[in-house]
């Protein structure tokens, strides 16, 4: 079974600085998707960024980017120019890439709580 590990339960960063959240995963598959979800105090789960394993280029969405190291099975999230609204719980998630029933379900890590210091 696939596992996702987030080894940093809590992180903090000064406003406007850059922070990197770590995620590692374990899989024997070669085709898969990786995701970062954000959960602010409102509890809503919001997709931040996604990465397809077959793509070598790291995904970027505005101030959010990933460092995808397939061989090392590492998928870290970098937040640049941190803003107060970035304060949230961040979850890393994995999904198998093969189509078929049941492959769409995500396996989540335990999360990293990010605090932004004004």
Partner 1 sequence: NAGVTQTPKFQVLKTGQSMTLQCAQDMNHNSMYWYRQDPGMGLRLIYYSASEGTTDKGEVPNGYNVSRLNKREFSLRLESAAPSQTSVYFCASSARTGALTGELFFGEGSRLTVL
Contact positions vs partner 1 (CB under 8 A): 4, 6, 9, 33, 35, 42-45, 47, 50, 91, 93, 95, 99, 101-102, 104-111
Strands (E), 43-111: 46-52, 60-61, 64-69, 74-79, 88-96, 107-108
Tokens 């099975």 correspond to what residue? 73
CB of 57 to partner 1, least distance (A): 17
CB of 90 to partner 1, least distance (A): 11
Candidates 111, 97, 78; CA nearest to 33 is 97
Nearer to partner 1 among residue 33 and residue 118 (C-beta): 33
């Amino acid at each position: 079974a696939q596992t996702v590990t987030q080894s940093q339960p809590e992180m903090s960063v000064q406003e406007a600085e850059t922070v990197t959240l770590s995620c590692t995963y374990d899989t024997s598959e070669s085709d898969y998707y990786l995701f970062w979800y954000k959960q602010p105090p409102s509890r809503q789960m919001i997709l931040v960024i996604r990465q397809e394993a077959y793509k070598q280029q790291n995904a970027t969405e505005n101030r959010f980017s990933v460092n995808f190291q397939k061989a090392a099975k590492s998928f870290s999230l970098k937040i640049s120019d941190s803003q107060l609204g970035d304060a949230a719980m961040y979850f890393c998630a994995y999904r198998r890439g093969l189509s078929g029933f049941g492959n769409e379900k995500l396996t989540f890590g335990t999360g990293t709580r990010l605090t932004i210091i004004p």
